[in-house]
């Protein structure tokens, strides 16, 4: 192992040790997002083509498909719902598409789910519709009145009214407004990773924050965003999570192997898991990927430690996330254009003795193994393991 790699592995393990349970953050104390939030978001599949009936259908499908039972909880109405602020300054939805937001929220709550909404600190949203600038308190009150449980605060036109060094101030303003409502509302920051958001997001109440620009249903972009997350692990934990953006599983632009890669990597990263496909028309393969409980358990592990890369050799990478039960979730990732054999040396994940190996996609115990484990990993694919003493 080269010196750089050795230092990388040691520093990754050191961070994981420092992140081990015992830490109590301010966000933990609020009780929101003790594990990475899970749900569905309208954006990647529907863009602005959303309406009350569409959101209701997706919420119902979240329940009927078994996704809710697997842990998906928030139904996030992303950009496209906004109307304008009326003469009294209160935010009205586009009533042609969303005639009654409170009734919609009540309906979603009646399914045992929670509701999210999108707005911006700027005067206009990314689609040019009205944003929350100058209306922060009224908008927070309106959201609380409707029964909103999650606000995605998306920078969009923020730069037209705030200077670069005022980003924190802008996010703090909505945080205070949300606090004043007295309703527990999960706060999701979206400013694409500017100004090292991970360093200050918890101090402005962020329960999750986007670390990158927008993802889309494309392998190269997903691969770039996902594997770029290495190094951010020390900023995540119960109540406050790095967010590499939505899951595109089921949207059709990637292969099954590639979608398994996204689901596995996001789970090792302890990332929020927001599906963004059409839940009313989902293949059994997409559903199986999104609801793999063994993989979801890695993401939702109560220790709340974000995993990181422990080894790499060209396009072969091994990532590891330590789990509360003492086990280790390990992803053998092949970023190459052809299948490759990847060998996990137990010493790279701090395992000195023979250990039990289980394959989390095959749902199969592979026996007790000593020292190392090798697998053929398909192109752009993953073999995801749990290693237990
Ligand atoms: C930005 C965000 C996306 C989505 C759109 C909506 O691009 O990053 O996630 O919210 O705005 O306009």
CB 215 within 8 A of CB 246: yes
Q: Is the CB of 118 under 6 A from ligand 1?
A: yes
Q: Is the CB of 323 under 6 A from ligand 1?
A: no
pLDDT at residue 12, rounded to an integer: 53
214 is catalytic: yes
Q: What is the DSSP letter of 315?
A: T
- For a mutational test of ligand 1's pocket, the pick from 42, 94, 190, i.e. the residue with the most ligand atoms closer than 8 A to its C-beta, is 190
Find where tokens 């045992």 sit: 112
Distance CA 158, CA 136 (A): 13
Radius of gyration of the chain, Cα coordinates, nearest whole angstrom: 21
pTM: 0.94
4-9+307-388 shares its CATH topology with 22-299: no
The CATH architecture assigned to 22-299 reads: Alpha-Beta Barrel (3.20)
**Angle CA 376–381–382, to nearest 5:** 70
Question: What's the Cα-to-Cα distance from 225 to each of 23, 66, 269, 382, rounded to whole Å?
Answer: 28, 28, 12, 16
The catalytic position among 214, 278, 359, 388 is: 214
* Secondary-structure class of domain 4-9+307-388 per CATH: mainly beta
| Domain residue ranges in the chain | 4-9+307-388, 22-299
Question: What is the CA(351)–ligand 1 centre distance, in A?
Answer: 42
Distance CA 290, CA 343 (A): 27
Q: Any residues with CB less than 8 A from the CB of 189 and at least 6 apart, and which?
A: 153, 171, 197, 201, 204, 206, 208, 209, 210
pLDDT at residue 142, rounded to an integer: 98
pLDDT block averages, 10 residues each, the chain of length 389: 42 45 48 97 98 98 98 98 96 97 98 98 95 98 98 98 97 98 98 98 98 98 98 97 98 98 99 98 98 99 98 98 98 98 98 97 98 98 97
Q: Is the CB of 46 under 6 A from ligand 1?
A: no
pLDDT at residue 29, rounded to an integer: 54
Q: Is the CB of 312 under 6 A from ligand 1?
A: no
Distance CA 348, CA 6 (A): 10
pLDDT at residue 26, rounded to an integer: 45
- For a mutational test of ligand 1's pocket, the pick from 41, 42, 43, i.e. the residue with the most ligand atoms closer than 8 A to its C-beta, is 43
Distance CA 152, CA 154 (A): 6
Positive or negative, the Cα torsion across 42, 45, 49, 53? negative
Closest listed residue to residue 276, CA positions, set 34, 50, 36, 32: 50
Question: What is the CA(83)–ligand 1 centre distance, in A?
Answer: 17
């Amino acid at each position: 192992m080269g010196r750089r790699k050795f230092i990388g592995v040691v520093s990754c393990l050191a961070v994981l040790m420092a992140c081990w349970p015992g830490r109590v953050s301010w966000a933990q104390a609020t009780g929101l997002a003790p594990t990475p939030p899970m749900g569905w978001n309208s954006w990647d599949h529907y863009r602005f083509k959303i309406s009350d009936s569409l959101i209701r259908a997706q919420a119902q499908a979240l329940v009927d498909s078994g996704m809710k039972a697997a842990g998906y909880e928030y139904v996030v109405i992303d950009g496209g719902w906004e109307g304008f602020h009326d003469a009294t300054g209160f935010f009205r939805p586009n009533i042609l598409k969303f005639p009654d937001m409170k009734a919609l929220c009540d309906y979603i709550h009646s399914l045992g789910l929670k509701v999210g909404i999108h707005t911006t600190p700027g005067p206009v949203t990314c689609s040019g519709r009205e944003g929350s600038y100058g209306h922060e308190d009224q908008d927070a009150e309106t959201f609380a009145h409707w029964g909103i449980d999650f606000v995605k605060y998306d920078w969009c036109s923020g730069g037209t009214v705030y200077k670069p060094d005022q980003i924190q101030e802008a996010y703090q303003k909505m945080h205070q407004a949300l606090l004043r409502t007295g309703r527990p509302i999960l706060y999701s920051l979206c400013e694409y990773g500017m100004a090292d958001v991970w360093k200050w997001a918890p101090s402005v109440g962020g329960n999750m924050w986007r670390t990158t620009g927008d993802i889309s249903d494309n392998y190269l972009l997903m691969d770039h965003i996902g594997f770029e997350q290495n190094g951010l692990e020390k900023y995540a934990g119960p109540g406050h999570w790095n967010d590499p953006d939505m899951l595109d599983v089921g949207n059709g632009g990637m292969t099954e192997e590639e979608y398994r890669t996204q689901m596995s990597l996001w789970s090792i990263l302890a990332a929020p898991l927001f599906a963004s496909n059409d839940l009313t028309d989902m293949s059994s393969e997409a559903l199986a990927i999104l609801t793999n409980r063994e993989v979801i358990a890695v993401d939702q592990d109560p220790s709340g430690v974000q995993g990181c890369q422990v080894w790499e050799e060209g396009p072969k990478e091994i990532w590891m996330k330590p789990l509360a039960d003492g086990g280790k979730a390990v992803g053998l990732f092949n970023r190459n254009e052809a299948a490759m054999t990847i060998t996990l040396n137990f010493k790279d994940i701090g395992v000195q003795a023979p250990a039990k190996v289980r394959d989390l996609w095959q749902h199969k115990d592979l026996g007790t193994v000593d020292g190392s484990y090798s697998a053929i990993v398909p192109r752009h694919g993953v073999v995801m393991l749990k290693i237990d003493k």
